[in-house]
Amino acid sequence: MPLIKDSKVTTKENNIVLFPKTLDYYQIQLTVMLENERYGEAMAMLRFLMQCQGQEQKQYDEWDALLQWLEAAFPQYVDSGGVTDVVEEDEVGEVELARRHARFKQEQDAGYGNKLLQMAMDGPLSEQTILALEQLSYLELPEIDDALLRWIKEREIHPLLQFRILQTMRRRGMEGIIEIRRGDEKAEIDIEAVPLQPGDFPEQIMRILERVADQTEVHEPTLFYFAQELWSQFVMAVYGTNDYRSMLVEEDGIQDIWAAALHQTVSESLGGNNNEEETRAIYGITDALRFRFEQAYRSMRLFVAAGMNTL
């Protein structure tokens, strides 16, 4: 991709400087837009970020590469700026538009499916990887099913990317239960039950985040904002594992345990309250629940230490 040499990044007329916390906020917003297929808004966000100052050239290059990729992959959103009241979009819906676009690209290039597979399977874990998987959801090529199945069963893959592959498999209409390695365990996954949207996760998962919201939303809104993002990534990464199944147990204290672990992990990551005893008291973690809290807390810290990817 070409280097960004446009004066709009460095001229004094555009004197917006992104500080670290502000940059983190925009990066998370960008991830949320991509996850929810708000591609027009994502493009507008990238154009704004590229006009700001204070970042290393590598960061501008990455934004430019992603913007160019989005513009090529989703030309129907290039000028939308996130506006969704286009007549055609209202009539057919975003999913149908995405399916039509993927089929059009396939008609123009018979090797388009293989190129998407190669981008997803051999490229670094990135937003482009996830977008390639989304487009693979809409191509009617049986060999894609076989390739995805071999990939997820035979190769060592980042757990977040594993989950995205499972979502693609479900969107493609694949069925059945598969056994894959998730971290250090083997997990049986029912493809037809894989959540496609945050709201598709069981109510127990949502209630854990609500417990954190009750304690932080008003007095510590920054902590809650990052807690939402970490929780979203964590539940995708552990989907189908023993940790995930433990969250679904209808037993007193389970939601408090995971809510406290989430609160403490985020608080430490933000350099805030490191007093674990105080956090346990907030969520009513008694001595009888402490060992299970420590297990949940350890799992979450390991996930963060391993490199939480906001994809």
Reported as a single tens digit per residue, the pLDDT across 223-268 is 888 899 899 999 999 999 999 999 999 888 999 999 999 999 999 8
The whole-angstrom distance between residue 49's C-alpha and the CA centroid of its chain comes to 20
Instruction: Name all contacts of 84-90 with Cβ < 8 Å and 24+ positions apart.
Output: 84/40
Give residue 1's pLDDT.
28
- Contact between 40 and 83 under an 8 Å Cβ cutoff? The reply is yes
Can you give the pTM of this predicted structure? Answer: 0.70
61-67 CB contacts, 8 Å cutoff, 24+ apart? 61/1, 61/3, 61/4, 63/4, 64/1, 64/2, 64/3, 64/4, 65/1, 65/128, 66/127, 66/128, 67/43
Q: Which helix (H) or strand (E) holds 293?
A: helix 287-307
CA nearest to 25, candidates 45, 1, 50, 41? 45
Query: What is the predicted pLDDT for the residue at 295?
Result: 96
Q: State what percent of residues in the chain have pLDDT above 90.
A: 40
Confidence of residue 208 (pLDDT cuts 50, 70, 90): very high
Residues ≥6 apart with Cβ < 8 Å to 108: none
Q: Is the pLDDT of residue 67 over 80?
A: yes
Tell me the domain boundaries of the chain: 20-77, 108-194, 199-309
The architecture of the domain spanning 199-309 is: Orthogonal Bundle (1.10)
- pLDDT of 290 > 90? The answer is yes
Integer Cα distance of 165 and 134 in angstroms: 9
Direct distance between the N- and C-terminal alpha carbons of the chain, in angstroms, rounded to an integer:
21
Q: What is the pLDDT of residue 183?
A: 85
Looking at residue 241, its pLDDT comes to 96
Nearest partner of 258 among 302, 307, 219, 205, judged by Cα = 205
